[in-house]
Amino acid sequence: MQYDNDTQLSLNLWGQSALTSHLQIEKLSIPDAEIIFYPNYFTEEESDEILQRLFIEVNWRQDKIKCYGKEIDLPRLTAWYGDTGKSYTYSNIAMNPIPWTPVLLFIKDRVEETAQISFNSVLINLYRNGKDSISWHSDDEPELGKYPIIYSVSFGGERKLKFRHKFNKILDKLELNLTNGSLLIMKDKTQEYWQHQIPKTSKPVMPRINLTFRVIK
Ligand SMILES: O=C(O)CCC(=O)C(=O)O
Ligand SMILES: [Mn+2]
């Protein structure tokens, strides 16, 4: 796959409306959470085009975190887009959103067909290879309110998402393969009781872009 600026994108993303009722859907029955997974929310054709466009068009940034007093690069690139005035603090990093772009609005519209609510921001992560990751955390920042509704879409290389219960250590860890074009929904008490991570992998893996649509109060 090529990611240069001259790439001609053949698929017309605009004006497409999807009926989501035919889609394969998996509802995970685990305690203290509501997690729903659509493995093929976007078609392969759509997903490939979206991946290329995001790769080229997103204004990626390399953030740093403090680790034992040292500044180190976050193991992924990130970007924050959304309605103006909805700033957000994530891992102690203050982010001001960049205005929505056409491809982001296309994805947001499609996701909102299922969500039936309107999202005002999206955090985007680029996992360049298997060394990129996100460590155990919950999406429980105060700006997201008591029961955050997170719609998470994935494009590109398949990665594992792991869940662990914060308090009940007897419960098994849960593992999901986040496929190209998938949609994962986390709502109700999920963030209060569970943490999630994308671990590093030594297997060769294509770049992956994940978008988590959120409502900042
Ligand atoms: O890449 C993913 O699927 C997860 C990203 C995530 O958990 C986050 O951005 O909070
Ligand atoms: Mn998260």
Mention every residue, 6+ apart, whose C-beta is less than 8 A from residue 12. none
Does 139 contact ligand 1 (Cβ within 6 A)?
yes
Minimum-distance ligand to the CA of 210? 1
Give the tokens for residue 104: 């982001």
Q: What is the CATH number of domain 26-128+143-156+178-189+207-214?
A: 2.60.120.590
Gap from CA of 134 to ligand 1 centroid (Å): 7
pLDDT in tens, 184-204: 999 999 999 999 999 999 999
Q: How confident is the model at residue 3 (pLDDT cuts 50, 70, 90)?
A: very low
Q: How confident is the model at residue 205 (pLDDT cuts 50, 70, 90)?
A: very high
Q: Among 77, 150, 210, which residue has the most ligand 1 atoms within 8 Å of its CB, making it the best to mutate?
A: 210
DSSP for 20-56, please give it: -TTS--EEE--TT-EEEEETTSS-HHHHHHHHHHHHH
Gap from CA of 168 to ligand 1 centroid (Å): 22
Give the pLDDT of residue 67.
Answer: 87
Q: How confident is the model at residue 19 (pLDDT cuts 50, 70, 90)?
A: low
Q: How confident is the model at residue 17 (pLDDT cuts 50, 70, 90)?
A: very low
Q: Go through the chain and tell me how many residues it has.
A: 217
Q: How confident is the model at residue 94 (pLDDT cuts 50, 70, 90)?
A: confident
Give the pLDDT of residue 207.
Answer: 98
* Domain spans, the chain: 26-128+143-156+178-189+207-214
Does 198 contact ligand 1 (Cβ within 6 A)?
yes
Q: Are 166 and 194 in contact (CB under 8 A)?
A: yes
Give the tokens for residue 27: 């509802």
φ and ψ at 130, to 5 degrees? Answer: -65, -15
Give the pLDDT of residue 91.
Answer: 67
Give the pLDDT of residue 16.
Answer: 43
Q: Which residue has the higher pLDDT, 17 or 109?
A: 109
Mention every residue, 6+ apart, whose C-beta is less than 8 A from residue 36. 25, 26, 27, 28, 184, 185
3-state secondary structure of 107: helix
Q: Among 37, 76, 134, which residue has the most ligand 1 atoms within 8 Å of its CB, making it the best to mutate?
A: 134
The Cα 126–Cα 200 span in angstroms is 13
Give the pLDDT of residue 92.
Answer: 72
% the chain with pLDDT above 70: 89
Does 210 contact ligand 1 (Cβ within 6 A)?
yes
